[in-house]
Amino acid sequence: MELLKAIEGIRTPFLDIVFGIITRLGEQTILIVVFCVLFWCINKKMAYIMGVVFFMSSLVVQGMKIIFRVPRPWITGYPDFRPVGDALPEATGYAFPSGHTQNAAAYLGSLGATLKQLWAKVILFALPVIVAFTRMYLGVHYLSDVIASLVITFVLIFIATKVIADDAVCKKRELVIALVIVAVSIVVIVIAALRYHGVVGQASEARQLRDATRAAGAAIAFAIGYYIERMYIRFSVKTKNIWFQILKFVIGLGMTMGIQEGARVLGDSLVPDAFRYFLMVVWIMIVYPVIIKKFFSIKKEE
C-alpha cells in the first residue's frame, strides 16, 4: 500500500489522461478485435496461440480472484486513498490478480512471442508491463496483483508457443489442448458455484463472480471451436483482395458485438451471462469460419 501512496503523489490531470488511455490496452473489446482480425484475416496459428494463452490465463486469474478474494486497494487501504475516478467502472470483481494486466499480456505478449522482429518483441512485451504500472497508478491494483498476472501469462505464452509449434494438425494434441481448457473451465465454474452458495467460506455476490463465469463460458466455447476448426473446418484466411478482407472482418465483428449485446435479453445473472459469452465465441470460432470457408476463402490454407 505504501507503493500506491507514493505513486499517488505523482498524479497529475495530464498523467491521469495518459495512463487512462494506456490502461485501455487491457480492455476486453480491444482483445476481441485483435483476435478476430488475426484469426479470420491474417494468421490462424498466431490466433490459436493467442487464444490458448488468453483463455487459460483468464481462467487461472479469475479462479485465483474468487479463491483469494482480495479487496480493491481503496476498500482496505488508507482511509484517504482514492483511485482515479475514470478507472472505477472497469475495476470489477476482486483485486488479485489483475485482469487488465492479464488481458494485455495475453494478446500483446502472444504477438511478441510469434513475431520475428526484435524491435516488435521488445515493444509488445514492454506494453503489458506499462499497462501493469497504469493499474497501480490509477489505484485499482496492488503490485502483487500485476506481478502475478504477468508471471502467469508469460509462463503460459512460453508453454503455448512450444505446444502449438507448427501448422500440422495432430488430432491427439488438439484434443488434449481442448480438454485441458474445458477441465479448467469446469473447475472455475465449480469454485464460483461454491462461493456463490457459501459452501466454501463466506458467500460472494454474483457481481464478484461474474467475470469468472464469463471466462469459463467463453473458454469452453473456444476449446470446442478450436478442436472443430482445426480438425474439420480448416478455413483459409486468404481472400480475393483486400476489400474482401475488410468486408469479411466488418461483417464478422459486427455480428460478434451484436451477439454480445443482443444476448443480454437472456438475463444478467451468472448462468445467462456465461452463456452469452459462450454464444459469442461459438460464432467467432465455428459459425463464422464456416461462412468464411463458403463465401470468402479462395483455397485451403493447410
Give residue 84's pLDDT: 78
Give residue 91's pLDDT: 66
What's the Cα-to-Cα distance from 34 to each of 98, 154, 246, 275, rounded to whole Å?
20, 18, 14, 22
pTM: 0.90
User: Distance between CA 30 and CA 24 in Å, rounded?
Assistant: 8
Give residue 167's pLDDT: 63
Per-block mean pLDDT, blocks of 10 residues, the chain (302 long): 78 88 90 95 93 96 90 71 71 83 95 92 95 90 93 95 76 92 95 76 70 94 96 91 92 94 81 91 96 81 42
Give residue 285's pLDDT: 97
Give residue 199's pLDDT: 59
Give residue 270's pLDDT: 81
Give residue 41's pLDDT: 94
